[in-house]
Amino acid sequence: MIRRGHLPKISILSGHNFNVSLIMSRSRVPPILRPRLTPKYIASSVVAIYVLYCWLWGMPLLSSNLPAYTGPHPVGTIDIESPCDGRKTSDVKFKSNGQPAFLLETVLFSVYYPSIKGAKSDKPKHLWVPKPLSITAEGYAKFAHISNFLTNSIFTVALWGLAGSITIPANVDVPLREIAPSFEFTEHGAGKPEVGNDGFPVIVFSHGMASSRTDYTHFCGELASRGYIVAAIEHRDGSGPGSMVMDIDGSERAVYHFGLGDLDVDDSFDTSELKQAQLDFRQAEIEETVRVLKAINDGSGTTIYEMNPRKEGEHLASWEGKLDMTNVTMSGHSYGATGALQALKGAPCPERPFHGGLILDPGKSSGPLNHDVDVPVLVIHSNSWSKKHSVFFGRPHFDVVKDLVVDVNKRGKAAWFMTSLGTSHPSVTDAPLIEPMLLSWTTGSTIDVYDGVDVYVNVTEEFMIFQKAQRRTGLLALDVTHPDYDSSTNGTQEMPQAYQRFWQIHVAPEST
């Protein structure tokens, strides 16, 4: 006999005269949860699935992750912040608090380097937008002249959605690779020259306006994967969005973008004077970066590590004697290229031991370009930089740059000026890799985003080989192909097929 408590639920309900159809209808899925194949429902589902996919795989919501490096060596990275002597490069002060605007308290740079194979890091990878992300977001709001609590919050959320989870694909604070008996440079169709075991060649890199040290990580890391050490500086001259100054005592202070309106100056202090003050401050930061690198190479790596408030550099003691400080190249992009040219004035010298300059899209609105250069230089224009006619102190910018390079050759130093076809001003940055479709649409770039960085890296490597081995290889072995931008091949040499899609050479040393 079946006890009532064991009766099927449908029988119990029937025994109490419940309307079964009513119960079943009430137990149906609510209308809001019922799938209906409307365009709105499909779109919402796609967005939800995409967000879930990004969350599961650790991908940014609206961007692409940075690609892995392609060179033969794994890449390590260290953030180094080092106390400085507290020098002021200008007496200008802020209106808001009367504090010096150009006081050099610390210098911050990221080092990218070839690491030993199989090295594991116990530290998380660096974020592409450093924390706190709100500093960078507020800085961009200041650039747009709309900085307030609401807009800063909106910019922070937007930046988080675009790039908040993107990491730099380099292992943090792993050991530097041991130097092989004969340092191997990768050349493109020209063999491998034997280069003495003098240490790793060093490149100091200066970022452009509205940028930071992390905007060029793939260019820097790709060079590191091929055997170079690159120090990418974070400039605190007011030209970047924002940066956190950290001291060894644990104190922190945010610095942001600032303009003329933020400074306590008289009417005679105009934009040109502000830019010169910024360039002077940048040069001081460049010199401090060199000082720290020299100290590491001279055996003070442990001290640099202990004084680094970012707690990175535990293996720096083993870097002693491994940096070729006789083969340091000064490099920069846009505003940073203008600053790099300024830093080459009087070089090489103890404060700026630069034996070459890599100049990418020298600035069109960042002040005059220094022509007093007595070391080899490679000047590269993106296609958009050469294509757009710009008046620069009364002359076409292209002509000013061309004359600068010609003058270096006349002084007996090898110098090149060329245009990278299909590229745009941001092509050497990480931006096209993270937002390829958006950047191609807004900048007019036609080159594949990966090729866009690779062409810069390849010719940079050839320039580094020239400085070390005094041999012109690859693209640098060619003569002038296009005296002017986009002119017919009126130069001294036809452009070989392998380079036709990518390059025009406007100035080159005379062949011997």
Catalytic residues: 334, 361, 425
Three-state DSSP class for residue 109: strand
Of 311, 316, 327, the residue nearest 292 (C-alpha):
316
What is the rounded CA–CA span in Å between residue 460 and residue 361?
A: 14
Four-residue CA torsion sign, 482, 487, 492, 498: positive
Of 425, 438, 412, the residue nearest 512 (C-alpha):
412
Q: How many CA atoms lie within 13 A of 269 on its CB side?
A: 17
Amino acid at 348: P
Which residues on adjacent β-strands are paired with residue 396? 391
Which residues on adjacent β-strands are paired with residue 392? 395
Reading the block at residue 37, the tokens are 């194949």
What is the rounded CA–CA span in Å between residue 13 and residue 28?
A: 18
- φ, ψ at 233 (rounded to 5°): -85, 145
CA 92 to chain centre: 29
Enumerate residues 6+ apart whose C-beta is below 8 A from 494: 481
Q: How many other CB atoms sit within 10 Å of the CB of residue 364?
A: 18
Of 159, 55, 54, 80, the residue nearest 319 (C-alpha):
80
Place of tokens 């020298």: 362
What is the rounded CA–CA span in Å between residue 494 and residue 62?
A: 43
Reading the block at residue 431, the tokens are 């931006």
List strands edge to edge, sheet with 75-83.
Answer: 171-172, 75-83, 106-114, 229-234, 200-206, 323-333, 354-360, 377-382, 415-420, 503-507
Of 81, 291, 281, 83, the residue nearest 204 (C-alpha):
291
Enumerate residues 6+ apart whose C-beta is below 8 A from 437: none
Enumerate residues 6+ apart whose C-beta is below 8 A from 339: 206, 279, 282, 283, 286, 332, 366
